[in-house]
Amino acid sequence: MRERVAEFERFWATHLDRVEDRAERKAGGRSDARELQSDSKERLGMVMNTNQGQAVDTLEIRKEITIKAPIKLAFEALLEEIGPASQMFDGQPMPMKLEAWPGGRWFRDLGDNSGHLWGHVQVIKAPTLLELWGPMAMSYPAINHIQYRLKAEGSGTVLTLLHRAVGLITPDHREGMPRGWAYKMDRVRQLAERK
């Protein structure tokens, strides 16, 4: 993992050097161009070392439930639960918006151009597969990939969730997410079985 992080650090260091070169060319050899260069290298050095003591971590959660409803209804219930019918543990509504196409956004719209981007649709193959990736509720350096697989089994559906994350994952997310996913999966079951 550290090698991969170092690779990204080298990429961004090179990118920032190019931006710096362009800025210096635009400065046209002004006397403050050297000071700019010195300043930016010091800042770059500080930025490149800010991860000391913080571990890049991974998280993997798998859950599977059986839903007593046809696969089409189960998929519709899934889209409802991660969309407009989403709610928190206490039953309080937390409506989300899902643009159900590849590249579509998954976000919480608070109105007045405010909200939270949770992710994007990576794959959608109704009614058997939905994959999302993005920060989710993690407002820190982390990326998540969520896969929902649905499989018809008799007159019902098996819904399997796989959530993987990498980043500076906080203990509260590590401990709370399994409970959160159990709640969300049960909500999908309830919505589907009511239809």
Could you give the percent of the chain with pLDDT greater than 70?
Answer: 82
Token code pair at residue 191: 């919505």
What is the per-residue pLDDT for 54? 75
Q: For 8-40, how does the pLDDT look when each residue is reduced to its tens digit (9 = 90+)?
A: 667 777 767 777 777 777 776 554 545 545 454
Q: State which amino acid sits at residue 155.
A: S
Q: Is the pLDDT of residue 46 over 50?
A: no
Between vectors from CA 121 to CA 115 and to CA 127, what angle results, nearest 5°? 125
Q: What's the pTM value of the predicted model, to 2 decimals?
A: 0.74
Token code pair at residue 133: 């990736």
Q: For 109-154, how does the pLDDT look when each residue is reduced to its tens digit (9 = 90+)?
A: 999 999 999 999 999 999 999 999 999 999 999 999 999 999 999 9
Q: CATH says 57-194 is which class? A: alpha beta
What is the per-residue pLDDT for 45? 47
